[in-house]
Amino acid sequence: MDNGNLHIHEIAKDGCEELLLPLPARTVVMGKSARIAIRAKGRILFIDAADVIAVEAKGNYVLFLQTSSSHMLRESISTMEEKLNQHGFVRIHRSVLVNAALVEEIHPLSAGDYAVRVRGGREFTATRTYKKNLKLLAQLWIGIENFSAE
């Protein structure tokens, strides 16, 4: 079947063998944000990662914050960071991850910390330890040459 695409053997003989390497296993829902399955109150709920504003550590639990609801899960914030960083979540505090797509504003506070405001008006503090992660909130920074998140 020829639909105008190069066949695998044609790619290989053109010296592009790296295109033939297997892709890493991943789950992708085309055209939508990643779906997260969580166990809450004896049920398994499916929520879109784009609908999660932040994840806050609460002792041995984490609180998934959404605009209209929240869910408590028995999981560590470190584990959540590992699982969610590939879906646009950024750690800004030892107990807070925020959805970078929903951050609307950051402004400096005293002692080198920053306030991070997310959609809906909620504010979180980005501490000096995680200040370098603030650079991950945008792909392009314009007119902000002196912003130092080192």
Q: What is the mean pLDDT of residues 4-13?
A: 41
Q: What pLDDT, on a 0 to 100 scale, did the predictor assign at position 146?
A: 59
Q: How far is CA 91 from the centre of its chain?
A: 9
Tens digits of per-residue pLDDT, 90-120? 999 999 999 999 999 999 998 889 999 999 9
Handedness of CA 3, 9, 15, 19 (dihedral sign): positive
Q: What pLDDT, on a 0 to 100 scale, did the predictor assign at position 145?
A: 65
Tens digits of per-residue pLDDT, 45-61? 999 888 999 999 999 99
Total-model pTM: 0.72
Q: Which residue has the higher pLDDT, 77 or 5?
A: 77
Asked whether residue 7 carries a pLDDT value surpassing 80, the answer given is no
Tens digits of per-residue pLDDT, 28-43? 333 456 888 898 888 9
Q: What pLDDT, on a 0 to 100 scale, did the predictor assign at position 23?
A: 40
